[in-house]
Amino acid sequence: MKNLSVKTFLRGFSAFALCASLSMGSALAYNGDPELAYTDSAPTQTVTESAPSTPPAAAPVAAAMQDRLNQLKTGSVIPRTVQKSSALAADSVITSNFKNLGSFRLSFYCSCEKCSGEAYAGKTKSGTDITEGRTIAVDPNVIPLGSRVYIDGYGLFIAEDTGGAIKEQKIDIAVSDHDRAYELGIDKATVYLIG
């Protein structure tokens, strides 16, 4: 048998050790010959436990709710055509966050002399112009002038006016002309005080 050099012996032994380590799934780091070097380093995943957080979908919903609350409390009340609509029904944001004043008798009026009187024709008790989709007349002992109210089925209004016949649970909603006021007639709806 030929004499094997130490270097040849070590190479053979290292190759044997490498095969043995691969079959057992262990890691072997060899600092010698690059052909024999092997590292069994499977990617590791660190799992850390953390406190439960708000689900990602909840954040946009909460933001949308906050935007709606801010709009109701401080946003512009844009004049619009007054019309009862299911799209303007009081939703959970309104029913959960604002004071329910109960059911009110609704009537409609315009800025004409017949509806508003000669002294106030076109102007509200607050001094603003009577504006459809914004102005309502209220009993200031029930709803203070300047208050925002949400009328179920009709939307958001500002209490800007009063009237001789508007007492207790009655609201007069301003519209653009006398014929429309007459056509809309009388209704009942739940009213919420926004502030």
Q: Is the pLDDT reported for residue 93 higher than 70?
A: yes
Q: How far apart are alpha carbons 144 and 158 in whole angstroms?
A: 10
Alpha-carbon gap, residue 105 to 170, rounded angstroms: 5
> What is the pTM assigned to this prediction?
0.68
Instruction: Provide the pLDDT for residue 27.
Output: 41
The number of angstroms, rounded, from the C-alpha of 150 to the middle of its chain's C-alpha atoms is 17
What is the tens place of the pLDDT at every residue in 32-66? Answer: 444 444 445 555 555 555 555 555 667 788 888 89
56: left (phi over 0), alpha (psi -120 to 50) or beta: alpha
pLDDT for position 52: 58
Confidence of residue 170 (pLDDT cuts 50, 70, 90): very high
Q: DSSP secondary structure string, 64-103?
A: HHHHHHHHHHHS----------GGGS--HHHHHHSEEEEE
N-terminal to C-terminal alpha carbon distance within the chain: 105
**How far apart are the C-alpha atoms of 134 and 99, rounded to whole Å?**
20
